[in-house]
Amino acid sequence: MNLTSNEPIFEQIYKEYKKLIELGIFKNGDKLPSVRDLAYELGINPNTVSRAYELLINDKLVNSIEKKGVYVSYKDDVSNINAEKAKDLINEIKNIGVKKEEAINLIEEIYGDDKQ
């Protein structure tokens, strides 16, 4: 967390955990750190962490289970999220003027013979 940033700390926490969930680093059923533990670790007020977790709950990325903790409950297929991100990147490449053949050549260069 960047405590000197203009972005509120709760939004930074929210974005970081959202990214970790979408990338599959936190998987469905994984428990997030408790509000108190994360607040202590970051040296911030627990209410700040609670606000971030509420945003994740509102996005249906996590569920809060009373007296148990906050658990990832993300149901969407992570590969669909990655495909959307790839589309966004391809649009950026197109918008900066890279021609289709150049982009394809770059992809082939990066992937090589890898079929993934």
Q: What is the pLDDT of residues 47-62, one digit of tens each?
A: 999 999 999 999 889 9
Q: Which residue has the tokens 């992937």?
A: 111
Does a structural domain hold residue 116? no
What is the pLDDT, as a whole number, of residue 4? 80
Residue numbers of the domain that contains 98: 78-111
**CATH number of 60's domain:** 1.10.10.10
Are 67 and 91 in a shared domain? no
Q: Which residues contact 17 (CB under 8 A, 6 or more apart)?
A: 26, 32, 52, 56, 61, 62
Residue 79 gets the label, from left (phi > 0), alpha (psi -120 to 50) or beta, of alpha
As a whole number, mean pLDDT of residues 92-105 equals 92
What is the pLDDT, as a whole number, of residue 107? 87
% of the chain at pLDDT higher than 90: 55
DSSP 69: E
As a whole number, mean pLDDT of residues 6-32 equals 91
Calpha distance 77→104 (Å, rounded): 26
For residues 75 and 28, the answer to whether their CB atoms sit within 8 Å is yes
| Angstrom distances, CA of residue 54 to CA of 81, 95, 107 | 21, 36, 39
What is the pLDDT, as a whole number, of residue 78? 56
Rounded to two decimals, the pTM is: 0.64
Are 37 and 16 in a shared domain? yes
Q: Is the pLDDT score of 42 beyond 90?
A: yes
CA neighbor of 53 nearest in space, from 9, 7, 5, 1 = 9
Q: What is the mean pLDDT of the chain?
A: 87
